[in-house]
Amino acid sequence: MPTNFTVVPVEDGGAGKSTLEGVFSEEDEEDISPRRSYSDVTPRESSPFINNTDQDQENYYDGKNMALFEEEIESNPMVSSLLNKLANYTNLTQGVTEHEEYENEEGVTKIRVKSPQMGTFIGVYLPCMQNILGVILFLRLTWIVGTAGILESFAIVVMCCTCTMLTAISMSAIATNGVVPAGGSYYMISRSLGPEFGGAVGLCFYLGTTFAGSMYILGTIEILLTYIVPNAAVFVAEKKEGEAEAMLNNMRVYGTCCLALMALVVFVGVKYVNKLALVFLACVVLSIMAIYAGVIKTVIEPPDFPICLLGNRSLQNHNFEKCVKTEVIKNVTYTTKLWELFCDSRHLNATCDEYFTLNNVTEIQGIPGLLSGVIKDNMWGDYGPSGMLVEKKRQSSVPAQDNSRDIYMPYVFNDISTFFTLLVGIYFPSVTGIMAGSNRSGDLRDAQRSIPFGTILAIATTSFIYMTCVVLFGACIEGVVLRDKFGDSVKKNLVIGTLAWPSPWVIVIGSFFSCCGAGLQSLTGAPRLLQAIARDGIVPFLQVFGHGKANGEPTWALLMTAGICEIGILIASLDAVAPILSMFFLMCYLFVNLACAVQTLLRTPNWRPRFKFYHWTLSFLGMSLCVSLMFISSWYYALVAMSIAGCIYKYIEYRGAEKEWGDGIRGLSLNAARYALIRLEEVQPHTKNWRPQLLVLLKLDSDLGVKHPRLLSFTTQLKAGKGLTIVSSVLEGTYMTLGAEAKSAEQNVKSAMHAERTKGFCHVVVSSNLRDGFSHLIQSAGLGGMKHNAVLMAWPGAWKQAEDSYPWKNFIETVRETTSAHQALLVAKNIDKFPSSEDRLGEGTIDVWWIVHDGGLLMLLPFLLRQHKVWRKCKMRIFTVAQMDDNSIQMKKDLQMFLYHLRLNAVVEVVEMHDSDIAAFTYEKTLVMEQRSQMLKQMQLSRNEREREAQLITKLGTKSHGNLNDNATATPDHRVHMTWTKDKLITERNRNRSEPNVGVKDLFNMKPEWESLNQSNVRRMHTAVKLNEVVVNKSQGAQLVLLNMPGPPKTKGGDENYMEFLEVLMDGLDRVLLVRGGGREVITIYS
């Protein structure tokens, strides 16, 4: 029916648009569904930009200027839209800062997000300075200088600062290679090295940050109980030897209380911690300034901090005022408090300590000043065991015979054994904190500029401070004072405080608040780091720590952090906790350097950092330095840290969620695979390295599921996880129409491979016919040197009952192609009866029938199968066939010797097959085979003829078409039975046998029919029948029978006869594996 329509010209504009909408409203509604289905079929990648909504797609196409790209615009954005998204991109603040909440007029709570405004100085430089300059500088650096000497202390500082500087260079390269969201070092490592390394190192960094919180809390309590309020101790030692244990218990009690208080502050809100951050930073800066001011003042006027020496031994002077044994008052000699400490009474005739009697008391200045020349005495180290007395070098003394009571005297002792490597582990935490800037990447105005510049400048500044402090401490302070860890010789003053100006309390108060602030920051940052790892989903058992309060505060992660932090506090020793967190930080820095080195060496296209002052050699040097410092500090702690990281790595690899982050390890694997493939292709593999690289040809059912999953089980048992396995199948059709089905089939095959624990690759192809598909797979599967050398497939069991001849013809063509490609072929009969990977075969045998030598594959396959737990208990038997002219005894000896040289354990048996007349059954079998073949050739119809015949039969059965019925009745039933079934054969035999005089009939009556037979077929059938009799007789109870597979006929005329021969050969056997070698030796007697 013709349709009348009128073309109305409409101008571009709003009115025209509305008119068109009214005219084509129904058509638009009808056009929606195909567009949606197209988008469903072709899923596109989610946009990597923030604030991406589906509404933006409506504005992609407007007007006629881009009509040529109309279809592209539906799935890809215009450049103008892309640039608009980039311009409006904001890196939202995540992590440390808490969102400020306010209520609108309706009373609904909303979140106001401040745009990042921090610059380099505030956002990176000062936080790094605050984190680097901390508890070790104030509490341990003077002791390290006194113990190790200026030169060795300087070497420790240079090593550690070089390590952090090289790590900062690598970190700067990674941080400037694109936008770094909040997450800092964990984000950089995980996205550069993959989820396994990222999770392992992220958890190590988390543990390091948590133990750093323990160290800062212990430092806070040490300052509180030792220098501010010593009388607040809960545990007081009754004897001098119990003072150390009492101090540790006090640290545990006060440390636990302090931890609980800090955790409560963090739980209430981190905005209070952020507001106090400036106060804590001011304390650090003022303390540093006070130290340098005190050094300058020592040049003008050294401070008065006298120390008392008995002989050359330093004394604790907080229990006496005057450094003399006796004093004369009005011509009367009185003993002092010092006398009472070493003697049993105040009288002059009291019994005193031998060393006290033999040596005089000397008072010297603890801070002689910068120009005193004390630097010469402090140049070299003075290590010693725990309990060693702190003595002044070059000071004369008279040794005592009995030193057993020295421990009860007011001497200054070493509380721990000291050696160089211990000091490295204790000092290294003082240079950590370089990640403070990268951890705030979400709060920076320009992270790619601020992180490198601010971090490197902060490390340079702090390195200068540490190096100058080492030299200045050694040049200004007396050696015995430097080695006095707790300031007992200077009236319980903080040693570094004695150098400060205007008062030691500046350093005491400043270091106290500095440690408090650092502890709060550790308890703030560590839970968020754990929350980030948990939310990434790479460690399943950490999922619970990804949840928190409504505003995002990580409550559960905070509880976990406090629990781990309590472990460090129960250790109660700053010197014992410091090496632990050194290991975890060094592990983190090691992998930052590794990430930069890997990305640089791989030269991935996405590796384009804006920071140009890096090189892979610097990253490799930093990585080597990290490993060296780990084992220098404590080799057993290093092994423990690596073991923890390794266990986490393997856990994530086997149990964790699979993530694809474009990491460098995957790129490294690709490069290594490429290099290996190129090397493999250069030369053919040696016989000693030959192993079956399988191409498994699967058949799929109508639901695209695997029809024979036991074929995958057998693959797993044969490979035992080694070598190449390519599992493939073919769909018949075109890829344009069956693309989705091919992907679905591939997923089904992968699921079946996972269920059967088959490790390998999956490939489903679409071809116009199955024959070409399998041919293409045999020719092109694999890559380079990693190509298959063997094909595994199932025997087409129902080939006789098939409606068409395609299955067995495809099978024979596959046999021919594998032979032409010089590839081995394995054909499994009754594959569904093969054992699964969960089965365990008990007693049984694997029988090998070695008829023809085609490379030794028949003997290698049972050996490989017995490596798997399914076939492990089965014994191997080898049968070989001897002809009339063969010496069976000698053959058995030779075969046993051959197996001995092959290192194979097997029972050898030689079966003699004498020449015999061809039986009548063989002739009959051959006759039936040829008659069936001839019948199929004569009555073979094309596909179109079959369809016409089917239509004809359908019409014959339809009552409504009387004229067709009339035509059909004119011709009798000429429909052809195209299958020669077993029932027909038995019926025909019985009919012939029921004829009269059947008993008198002899073999010569059928002679004319036999003479017309192909004698080649008769001989082949004779071989198949006789060999089958022998095999069934010997191996009917075997768990598996391996047979040489005869070659296919050279011409296609005998294809069906070939299938019949194989069927006869395998008749009566349950599990059979036909093996055809690839034309090369695969097993050798040589080592």
pLDDT tens-place string over residues 373-409: 899 999 998 999 988 999 988 888 888 888 888 888 8
Answer yes or no: is pLDDT of 21 > 70.
Answer: no
| Residue-averaged pLDDT of the chain | 78
Closest C-alpha to 589, from 810, 435, 776, 745: 435
Q: What is the pLDDT of residue 456?
A: 94
Q: Convert the pLDDT of each residue in 739-760 to its tens digit.
A: 899 999 999 999 999 888 888 8
The encoded tokens of residue 478 equal: 């007396």
The encoded tokens of residue 828 equal: 């499994």
The three-state secondary structure class of 790 is strand
Q: What is the pLDDT of residue 656?
A: 61
Residues in contact with 1086: Cβ distance below 8 Å, sequence separation at least 6, in sequence order: 688
Q: What is the pLDDT of residue 138?
A: 92
Q: What is the pLDDT of residue 494?
A: 92
- For residue 169, what pLDDT band results from cuts at 50, 70 and 90? very high
Q: What is the mean pLDDT of residues 600-611?
A: 84
- For residue 426, what pLDDT band results from cuts at 50, 70 and 90? very high
**Least confident stretch, 107-116, 289-298, 671-680, 818-827:** 107-116
**Least confident stretch, 33-47, 359-373, 1025-1039:** 33-47
Answer yes or no: is pLDDT of 52 > 50.
Answer: no
Answer yes or no: is pLDDT of 531 > 90.
Answer: no
Cα 248 to Cα 236: distance, rounded to the nearest angstrom: 11
552 vs 956, higher pLDDT? 552
What whole-number percentage of the chain has pLDDT above 70?
Answer: 75
The encoded tokens of residue 829 equal: 């009969």
- For residue 994, what pLDDT band results from cuts at 50, 70 and 90? very low
Phi, psi (deg, nearest 5) at residue 1049: -65, 150
122 vs 550, higher pLDDT? 122
Q: What is the mean pLDDT of residues 25-42?
A: 40
Q: β-strand 845-850 against 875-882: which pairing, if any?
A: parallel
Peptide bond before 502: cis, by omega within 30 degrees of 0? Answer: yes
Answer yes or no: is pLDDT of 971 > 60.
Answer: no
630 vs 674, higher pLDDT? 630
Q: Where are the alpha helices (DSSP H) in 322-384?
A: 337-342, 354-358
- Exposed/middle/buried for residue 203 (C-beta within 10 Å: 0-12, 13-18, 19+): buried
Please name the residue that has the structure tokens 């599921």.
Answer: 705
663 vs 857, higher pLDDT? 857
- For residue 617, what pLDDT band results from cuts at 50, 70 and 90? very high
- Most confident range (mean pLDDT) of 38-52, 653-667, 796-810, 889-903 is 889-903
Q: What is the pLDDT of residue 193?
A: 72
Closest C-alpha to 113, from 100, 126, 103: 100
**Least confident stretch, 86-100, 626-640, 820-834:** 86-100
- For residue 959, what pLDDT band results from cuts at 50, 70 and 90? very low
Answer yes or no: is pLDDT of 992 > 80.
Answer: no
**Least confident stretch, 496-500, 750-754, 1016-1020, 1057-1061:** 1016-1020
Cα 859 to Cα 878: distance, rounded to the nearest angstrom: 8
- Exposed/middle/buried for residue 265 (C-beta within 10 Å: 0-12, 13-18, 19+): middle
73 vs 983, higher pLDDT? 73
* Cβ–Cβ under 8 Å, residues 259 and 561: no
| Residue 783 neighbours by CB distance under 10 Å | 14
Answer yes or no: is pLDDT of 89 > 50.
Answer: no
Closest C-alpha to 427, from 148, 130, 126: 148
Answer yes or no: is pLDDT of 940 > 60.
Answer: no
Which residues pair with residue 112 across a beta bridge?
100
- For residue 905, what pLDDT band results from cuts at 50, 70 and 90? confident
Q: What is the mean pLDDT of residues 604-627?
A: 90
Which DSSP helix (H) or strand (E) runs through 182? none
Answer yes or no: is pLDDT of 833 > 60.
Answer: yes
Q: What is the pLDDT of residue 623?
A: 95
- For residue 215, what pLDDT band results from cuts at 50, 70 and 90? very high
Closest C-alpha to 393, from 371, 370, 364, 417: 364
Q: What is the pLDDT of residue 1014?
A: 55
Answer yes or no: is pLDDT of 627 > 70.
Answer: yes
Residues in contact with 452: Cβ distance below 8 Å, sequence separation at least 6, in sequence order: 168, 172, 175, 176, 611
Amino acid at 17: K
State the angle between helix axes of 806-820 and 770-780 in degrees (0 to 180), rounded to the nearest 10: 20
Q: What is the mean pLDDT of residues 128-139?
A: 89
Cα 422 to Cα 69: distance, rounded to the nearest angstrom: 69
Q: What is the pLDDT of residue 258?
A: 95
- For residue 677, what pLDDT band results from cuts at 50, 70 and 90? confident
| Residue 661 neighbours by CB distance under 10 Å | 17
Question: Dihedral angle at the C-alpha atoms of 110, 115, 116, 117, nearest 10 degrees?
Answer: -120
Task: Say how many CA atoms lie within 13 Å of 1067 toward its Cβ.
Answer: 15
> For the chain, what is the radius of gyration of the CA atoms?
44
- For residue 44, what pLDDT band results from cuts at 50, 70 and 90? very low
Task: Say how many CA atoms lie within 13 Å of 994 toward its Cβ.
Answer: 6
Which DSSP helix (H) or strand (E) runs through 910? strand 907-912
- For residue 1011, what pLDDT band results from cuts at 50, 70 and 90? very low
466 vs 680, higher pLDDT? 466
Cα 619 to Cα 772: distance, rounded to the nearest angstrom: 52
Q: Is the dihedral of CA 221, 223, 227, 229 positive or negative?
A: negative
Cα 481 to Cα 711: distance, rounded to the nearest angstrom: 79
Q: What is the pLDDT of residue 80?
A: 60
Cα 791 to Cα 787: distance, rounded to the nearest angstrom: 11
Q: What is the pLDDT of residue 930?
A: 53
Q: Is the dihedral of CA 369, 370, 372, 375 positive or negative?
A: positive
Q: What is the mean pLDDT of residues 493-499?
A: 92
Amino acid at 216: Y
Cα 795 to Cα 815: distance, rounded to the nearest angstrom: 11
Phi, psi (deg, nearest 5) at residue 530: -65, -40
Phi, psi (deg, nearest 5) at residue 726: -120, 115
815 vs 604, higher pLDDT? 815
Residues in contact with 111: Cβ distance below 8 Å, sequence separation at least 6, in sequence order: 99, 100, 101, 551
* Cβ–Cβ under 8 Å, residues 584 and 135: no
Answer yes or no: is pLDDT of 915 > 70.
Answer: no
Q: What is the pLDDT of residue 945?
A: 54
Q: What is the mean pLDDT of residues 473-479?
A: 93
